[in-house]
């Protein structure tokens, strides 16, 4: 058996118990890789919020800058007895199995194709540290120190990170650094040269930052001018609101009064939360809420109201698996159809699809301009992987000269200057978007009822069928106008003559690009289009028309994007092939490689030489 050998290109999985304090240790390791200038993709692939359940944390180290989850594991740090066998069996041949040898492995662990490295973490902890409450936390730091030695990392980077982490409490830094050195020295003395995976300082990170998508989303809302938040706690969207509150305290606090210039109101449920947002938006504030999975169905009634009454609303949906009966702490792109047609009948909602924290920041900020310009809800479609995991991302930039686009809002002078009667739902520009006012703008002009019921152009209640049809046709015209305002797709043409195209969105992007790139290296050209918004522009339909077969890659069981494309483009279903991943884990590039290979081979589109290269070499 030949051990795996690689520099700056491998995947490590930490197998822990939730609530054991491992998160900070694992995060310490991932950020140390980043500070050595090597691209890194850390993922808590099962971030359970239930104490005692298993949790895994994968760190992909990749010199080439691939940021999607790869799949397969080269090294396991196994410190959870519940999953010890699973972690041992799941290791790739030639991989490295690091465990706490304070207790010996069962005799049934007999693989001869892995390298077993035992570090007596518990024993070292008990011998060195007197505080029993600190020992579980310090044991985690011991395995980080051992990893630093095995991978030949710069220990000083980790020490500096610990000093920075505990700068407000230096007394805590000392035992952590001691634990780090314990693991480092033990591995150095007992396993020098045993590991052929290694880390070398690089310069491939550039100006990139490490940030989670929910924090970037909160910053986007802050910079986008949000002043009112209605919310109800639901994992994994809660941290969007928590981060917004922290940033508001930092950037929105009045120096003289100590008051924060933002209202964050917790509602009794999701319906109440979006009701707060609608009321604030009607009054002229920029307001938003955040939800996950099940919250969408509860908010749908009010989303329909905002659509029909034409009130700006920004909603962040951090998607997770299925309804409340599913796996609520796993990631999935499972709410696409529910959001696109939220409410009941003849309703379409604008959706934005970020793929990294920078787009979370930019698209959330842009969502407020879009919502006010269109006078309609705009939903930012994040997911658990993007929202709660740290991601290497391009830096976040804000144009200081930027001014908010409030859309068609009449002020008092404009109302005074009108020579014809103003109608709240009267389209005078031919784009489907009407003029509105804020309550109290003028003492006698500009008053109107916001109607969620059937209404005429002047907000008057009516049950006249012709008036209803006229209004719905205008809303459809507005939908067409929206196509020119939402973000365009990103197209990559590898070969203008290619028969096959691929479409994907959101966090599927990174693994999809990697899998497509691997096929390109084998002589198979697949053009790609990354959708960034709904409604779909003509560019999307042209891309589909230009290819004989289009692979629609997404993270849900039913191929919801494929369904939406067929429905909106009146397309032939057989032209669009669903490529789906729905195990609740961030989609892996090696999984996509295998599925794409099989799909193309079945249709005779994969040359024999390329087919023989499938699999995923190191």
Angle between helices 213-223 and 238-251 (to 10 degrees): 50
In the three-class reduction of DSSP (H, G, I as helix; E, B as strand; rest coil), residue 501 is classed as strand
Helices and strands in the chain: count of H runs, count of E runs: 20, 22
Query: Considering only CA atoms, which of 429, 425, 452 is closest in space to residue 437?
Result: 425
Instruction: Say if residues 433 and 375 touch (Cβ distance below 8 Å).
Output: yes
Helix/strand/coil (H/E/C) assignment for every residue in 297-330 = HHHHHHHHHHHHHCCCEEEEEEECCCCCCCCCCC
What are 212's two structure tokens?
């989670």
DSSP for 377-388, written as a single string:
EEEEEEEHHHHH
- Asked whether 441 and 411 are in contact (CB, 8 A), the reply is yes
Instruction: Region of 316 please: left (phi>0), alpha (psi -120 to 50) or beta.
Output: beta
385 closest CA partner among 350, 360, 415, 368 = 360
What is the Cα–Cα distance from 409 to 426, expressed in whole angstroms? Answer: 13
Whole-number pLDDT of residue 323: 60
pLDDT at residue 616, as a whole number? 37
Complete domains list, the chain, with CATH: 6-198 (3.40.920.10), 211-393 (3.40.50.970), 408-487 (no CATH), 490-611 (3.40.50.920)
| Rounded distance between C-alpha atoms, residue 482 and residue 374, angstroms | 7
pLDDT, one tens digit per residue, over 7-47 is 999 999 999 988 778 999 999 999 999 999 999 999 998 75
Answer left, alpha or beta for residue 346, where phi above 0 means left and psi between -120 and 50 means alpha.
left
Measured CA to CA, the distance from residue 547 to residue 499 in angstroms comes to 5
| Average pLDDT per block of 10 residues along the chain, 618 residues long | 95 91 94 97 79 90 96 97 95 98 94 97 95 93 98 97 92 95 98 97 96 98 98 94 97 88 95 96 97 86 94 96 70 95 92 98 98 98 96 97 97 93 94 95 86 89 95 97 98 96 98 97 95 98 98 97 98 97 95 96 80 42
CB 142 within 8 A of CB 119: yes
42: DSSP letter: E
Which segments within 177-266 are labelled E, that is strand?
197-198, 209-212, 228-231, 263-266
> What is the pLDDT, as a whole number, of residue 322?
66
pLDDT at 1: 78
| pLDDT tens-digit series, residues 162-191 | 999 999 888 899 999 999 999 999 999 999
Q: b/e per residue, 62-93, with b = 16+ CB within 10 A?
A: beebbbbbbbebbbbbbbbeebbeebbeebbe
What is the reported pLDDT for 611? Answer: 55
Q: What pLDDT score was predicted for residue 610? A: 63
């Amino acid at each position: 058996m030949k051990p795996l050998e690689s520099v700056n290109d491998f995947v490590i999985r930490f197998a822990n118990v939730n609530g054991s304090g491992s998160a900070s240790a694992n995060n310490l390791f991932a950020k140390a890789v980043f500070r050595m200038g090597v691209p890194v993709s850390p993922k808590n692939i099962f971030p359970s919020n239930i104490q005692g359940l298993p949790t895994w944390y994968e760190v992909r180290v990749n010199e080439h800058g691939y940021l999607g989850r790869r799949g397969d594991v080269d090294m396991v740090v196994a410190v959870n007895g519940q999953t010890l066998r699973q972690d041992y069996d799941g290791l790739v041949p030639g991989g490295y199995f690091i465990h706490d040898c304070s207790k010996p492995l069962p005799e049934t662990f007999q693989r001869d194709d892995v390298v077993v490295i035992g570090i007596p973490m518990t024993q070292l902890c008990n011998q060195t540290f007197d505080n029993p409450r600190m020992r579980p936390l310090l044991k985690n730091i011991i395995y980080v120190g051992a990893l630093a030695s095995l991978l030949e990392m710069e220990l000083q980077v980790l020490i500096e990170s610990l000093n920075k982490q505990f700068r407000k409490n230096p007394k805590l830094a000392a035992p952590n650094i001691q634990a780090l050195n314990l693991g480092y020295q033990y591995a150095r003395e007992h396993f020098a040269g045993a590991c052929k995976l290694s880390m070398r300082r690089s310069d491939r990170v550039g100006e990139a930052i490490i940030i989670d998508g929910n924090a970037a989303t909160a910053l986007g809302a802050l910079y986008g001018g949000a002043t009112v938040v209605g919310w109800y706690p639901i994992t994994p969207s809660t941290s969007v609101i928590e981060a917004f509150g922290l940033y508001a305290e930092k950037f929105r606090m009045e120096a003289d009064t100590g008051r924060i210039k933002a209202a964050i109101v917790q509602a009794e449920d999701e319906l109440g939360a979006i009701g707060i947002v609608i009321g604030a938006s009607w009054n002229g504030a920029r307001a938003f809420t955040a939800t996950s999975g099940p919250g969408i169905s509860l908010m749908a009634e009010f989303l329909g109201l905002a659509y029909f009454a034409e009130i700006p609303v920004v909603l962040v949906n951090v998607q997770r698996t299925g309804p409340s009966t599913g796996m609520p702490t796993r990631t999935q792109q499972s709410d696409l159809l529910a959001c696109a047609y939220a409410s009941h009948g003849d309703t379409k909602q604008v959706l934005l699809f970020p793929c990294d924290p920078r787009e979370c920041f930019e698209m959330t900020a842009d969502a407020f301009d879009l919502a006010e310009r269109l006078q309609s809800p705009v939903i930012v479609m994040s997911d658990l992987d993007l929202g709660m995991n740290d991601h290497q991302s391009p830096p976040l930039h804000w144009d200081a000269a930027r001014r908010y686009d409030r859309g068609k809002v009449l002020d008092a002078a404009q109302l005074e200057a009108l020579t014809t009667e103003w109608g709240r739902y009267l389209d005078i520009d031919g784009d489907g978007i009407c003029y509105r006012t804020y309550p109290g703008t003028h003492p006698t002009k500009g008053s109107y009822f916001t109607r969620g019921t059937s209404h005429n152009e002047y907000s008057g209640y009516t049950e006249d069928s012709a008036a209803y049809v006229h209004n719905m046709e205008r809303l459809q015209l507005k939908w067409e106008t929206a196509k020119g305002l939402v973000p365009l797709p990103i197209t990559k043409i590898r070969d203008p003559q290619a028969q096959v195209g691929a479409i994907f969105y959101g966090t599927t992007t990174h693994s999809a690009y990697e899998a497509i790139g691997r096929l390109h290296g084998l002589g198979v050209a697949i053009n790609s289009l990354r959708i960034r918004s709904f409604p779909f522009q003509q560019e999307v339909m042209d891309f589909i028309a230009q290819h004989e077969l289009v692979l629609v890659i997404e993270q849900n069981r039913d191929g919801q994007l494929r369904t939406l494309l067929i429905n909106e483009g009146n397309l032939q279903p057989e032209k669009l092939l669903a490529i789906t991943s729905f195990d609740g884990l961030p989609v892996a590039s090696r999984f996509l490689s295998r599925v794409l290979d099989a799909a193309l081979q079945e249709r005779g589109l994969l040359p024999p030489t390329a087919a023989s290269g499938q699999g995923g070499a190191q």
